[in-house]
Amino acid sequence: MNGDLKSETSLLEQTLQLLSDCSDLSHLHLPLPQIDIIYFGHLVSTDALRKDALEPFNDKNADMVAILSQSFYKHKSQASELVTGILAGNIAIYYKNRAYLYDAYAPESRSIQSSETEGVINGPMDSFTESLNTNLSLIRRRIKDSELKAVTFTIGTRTGTTMVLLYLEEIAEPTHVQHLSEMIENLDIQTIYDTNTLAQHLTSNKLSIFPQFLTSARPDHIADKLTSGKIVGLLDGSPIAFSAPTSFIEFFSSPDDYYQPRAVASAVRILRFIALFITLCFTAFYVSLVTYHYEMIPPSLLLNLMESRNKVPFSPLLEAIVMEMTIELLREAGARLPTKIGPTIGTVGGIVIGQAAVQAGITSNILIISVAISTIASFVIPSYIMSSSIRLLRFGIIIMAGLLGNFGLVFGLSFIMIQLSGLNMFGISYLYPIAPSKPSRWLELIIRAPMHILTKLKKPPIQ
């Protein structure tokens, strides 16, 4: 008996020693049944603590052995296991020479709200939160299928963040699931806080500027990816989910496309691809024409253009770069300022700076128009991450057009196409279904096909 008591005391002391100097740690001692309870109050449910950890042990006639033999009390024999459980929101219960963990994880979290990063015109308004259990419930609410499987991982040697990989067993490619699972298991990182950071760790081509995981805060969007044979990842503490494998075309689709009439949704999708070329080429084409190719400008427009540029002391290339950087500064300032004044600063700043620059002769009014159109076109792209990548590439194309004219513009676009063609994930091309060409999938990704056709297309893209 003395040996058992010594073992019990040693285990309790080891736990307290490992968690020493933690002022937020709660340690309760119940003298009647000689039970110690250790937990973090802000990680556990107060109701579970009261009903399953305090009330059962306050009865002096209670059979402690019988109570602790119930399945939800997990016996642990190592102090390290107990500490890990306590940090994960478990309640540690010490009785005689044994210790148990009871899962009462229920941290405070914000309520389900609409997404601020992905606007909703029609359709569901809810979005993911920082609670993994809440996010799982939002998906399970939409997909009530026993084929929906979940695999749990723990990532980060210091953060110990829980991650769940979801897939529909019947339609997801097993080799893709295995490959992604191995990539997650092989991660050697200390901290992880957000899904976007995790996606960067899992990216196969880390030097590419293009996102290789599609991320979204909308449960309806992620549920649609699951039913299309994709693999979805959820990270505890992050309101964003990712899906894989993905293609370049998918970043130009929005869940709203399925909540609008087919003709309207198809027209909007085509408009997004037009906006892609506008934001990439419009300012660069202006620089190329004004620098090298005046003969391509209609005579009536050429007169106005020369009049506009008459007082501008800078070259078209430098002029365009400065104005594009100014727009990016205004965009970043509007994003970082408080919500109520951010849009106002962006709008007023753009108008005031643009007008003042033209009146001062620093830039031409036609360049202001082209920069404004390119900026507006970048907002049409639904994915913020893809939009940011395209905006960065625009600077490279402007520089190429300023140095080599139309040849530089074409060279820049060709270089981007080559980079896109070289990307793949799990053996699937980043340009699928354009390359390799599969016209039957164009109905789903490039235009919005009728619903009766879409239901036949809900299957894995490439087996």
pLDDT of residue 1: 38
DSSP state letters, 58-111: S-TT--HHHHHTSTTEEEE--HHHHHHHHHTTEEEEEETTEEEEEE-B----PP
What integer pLDDT is reported at residue 330 of this predicted model?
A: 81
Residues in the chain with pLDDT values less than 70: 1-10, 338-351, 440-441, 443-444, 451-463
The four Cα atoms 322, 323, 324, 329 give a dihedral, to 10 degrees, of 90
Q: Which residues contact 436 (CB under 8 A, 6 or more apart)?
A: 429
pLDDT at 434: 80
- For residue 456, the model assigns a pLDDT of 60
- Torsion over CA: 78, 79, 82, 87 (sign): negative
Confidence at residue 234, expressed as pLDDT on a 0 to 100 scale: 95
pLDDT of residue 343: 65
Q: Are 91 and 102 in contact (CB under 8 A)?
A: yes
Instruction: Using alpha carbons, select from 68, 99, 65 the residue that is nearest to residue 85.
Output: 99
So what's the pLDDT on residue 447?
76
Amino acid 357: pLDDT:
77
Q: Provide the pLDDT for residue 363.
A: 81
Q: What is the pLDDT of residue 452?
A: 63
Summarised one tens digit per residue, pLDDT across range 223-257 is: 989 988 899 999 998 999 999 899 898 898 888 88
Question: What's the CA angle centered on 437, arms 173 and 172, to 5 degrees?
Answer: 10
pTM: 0.80
